Structure 1
């Protein structure tokens, strides 16, 4: 029996606040990712220079410092400004994302249907709720979704990945139906029921989370077994998990696509290298897929505006291909 639809919309005038916070979160992640790759490239360049020097050869000019991706002072300034803006958000998130809350959030998800509509209708509704609350916005949520999808499409990636680009942030609609605030919708994600890894941004704010004092949840493995696989791990509740559960139960998207949806905000894992002890062999393949998707997630946004009506038939067909039940339960 289907759950009754409770489509009451909350926070109708706060959508732009969620988007501003998410943009700050994304800008911090974009900077940290660029910085990580810059350091890795510089280290590789230094290693090559050391090898050539030891052989009394001139360093390869293609490996000069000019070829190394640099991060400017302006980048650092913008990073620190964004990080200061997300500080209070992460304090809130880290203190409130408890095992008890996450269990209840999943009960709520399974026992309630917030709305029943097509994927395209949901994209339009998300755009309306966010963009109508910000009269200064130049690009809609659909514009940003299409930017990601079109970047993936232009690179010749498979159709299922194009759809992931279109819908990966659609779970933000949770903010307007069934969330406690911004903290259980956006932000970096992490496993529940085990030690909060040191690689998590603002790790110190977990001191206010009761799970850090729990005799099991505070241990390295917590409720899990070593190399149990991330499919067996509870990830903190937010728009990723919400959309993952929807896509898993109501679409024909493959495991790679589902991993991109579920883990694209799991930065402690796919960028910082944490939680390897929970991974199965299959997770390493998924890690590569998520990292491949991440560059589109972080760097595809621009001021370019696509003709939505021109692209709409293509993406409606794409949606129908992977969501056989036209009306999806959110």
Structure 2
């Protein structure tokens, strides 16, 4: 397959394997602790849940560490520039948001005959938890779409490592608060005379809008929707930064932030529980909820058909 070309034949890609990796990454992040939580009030839907009962760290540890060893070696400045160029120049499929949800549902779940929940149900769980807590409509639709960037796995990605996993800046020193920081030793940028310095190609207080984050489903979806929706900055931050755990969880990279980023940090921390802890909620009825969410999608995606 030529780099960057969209194809519908996904037989060479196992969606279930991607989801298993993604779920185990979530399990590790759950067990690393709880996020701090209008839209940034404490979440109520998960208040009675025993977070220690989510899948244990040891179950995910070996596979997740191997995943990050590959990701940390390959997420270079050069690769990120190439990935963004491929995104801008490839032929992009056109479809509505709901069609994209159905496409992700098919691509992932047809490979998993034993799955108990479809991708649509997972997305609706996040959205419904946000809705039940009375959060704004823009936050509800953000919960619905936040993982649609996983379509990238079937649109010219090079593997799981550039689709899922925690994100981090490239072009400056890799912070020790990134998960498994020692695995960056294999990344050539960690030895580069500029990229290995504290600020690298950036400057203090430049703002995260000006920072290149590792390419994956968050960054991809952010670039898809930022110019094709009326979502507010808080929603775009939730999409772009929800896997940026070194920042919103460990307080790394604060020296790159500007004043705007302080507000965005509050938004991302408010969103995090709905991303991590909604998967054990009851199974939503897709057909019952679909009319509500179709209306919600139309409210924030007036163009109806998006380029993916």
TM-score where L is the length of structure 2: 0.91
The verdict on how the C-alpha distance between 1:5 and 1:322 changes in structure 2, with shifts beyond 3 A counting, is farther
Q: Is 1:106 equivalent to 2:88 in the alignment?
A: no
Larger RCO (CA under 8 A, 6+ residues apart): 2
Rounded Cα–Cα distance in structure 2 between residues aligned with 1:119 and 1:79? 34
| 1:88 matches 2:66 | yes
Larger % of helix: which? 1
Corresponding residue for residue 268 of structure 1? 246
Q: Which residue of 2 aligns with 1:245?
A: 223
Offset at residue 326 of structure 1 (A)? 1.2
* 1:23 equivalent in structure 2: 23
Return the index of the structure with the highest Cα Rg. Answer: 1
**1:12 touches 1:129 (CA, 8 Å); kept in 2?**
no
Distance 2:264 2:68 in 1: 27
- In structure 1, list runs of 5 or more residues that go unmatched: 38-68
Which residue number corresponds to residue 181 of structure 1? 159
Map of 1:130-279 to 2, 5 A cutoff?
Answer: 130-279=108-257
TM-score calculated relative to the size of structure 1: 0.85
2:283 corresponds to 1:283: no
CA contact (8 A) 2:153 2:160 kept: yes
Q: SS of 1:33's equivalent?
A: coil
Q: What SS does the corresponding residue of 2:226 show, helix, strand or coil?
A: helix
Partner of 1:293: 271
Q: SS of 2:238's equivalent?
A: helix
Q: Deviations over 1:175-202 (max 9, x none)?
A: 0111000000000000010000000011
Secondary structure of 1:250's match? Answer: coil
Task: Note if contact 2:121-2:286 (Cα within 8 Å) is conserved in structure 1.
Answer: yes
What is the aligned counterpart of 1:125 among 87, 94, 103?
103
Counterpart-to-counterpart distance in 2, 1:99 and 1:172: 21
**Aligned mates of 2:267, 2:243 — CA distance in 1:** 13
User: How far apart, CA to CA, are the structure 2 residues paired with 1:273 and 1:79?
Assistant: 22
Match of residue 314 from structure 1: 292
What 5-or-longer segments of structure 2 have no aligned partner? 37-48
Runs of 4+ in structure 1 deviating by more than 4 angstroms, as ranges, are 69-72
Deviation of 1:6 (Å): 3.7
For residue 328 of structure 1, give the secondary structure of its aligned residue in structure 2: strand
Q: Is the 8 Å Cα contact of residues 147 and 218 (structure 2) preserved in structure 1?
A: yes
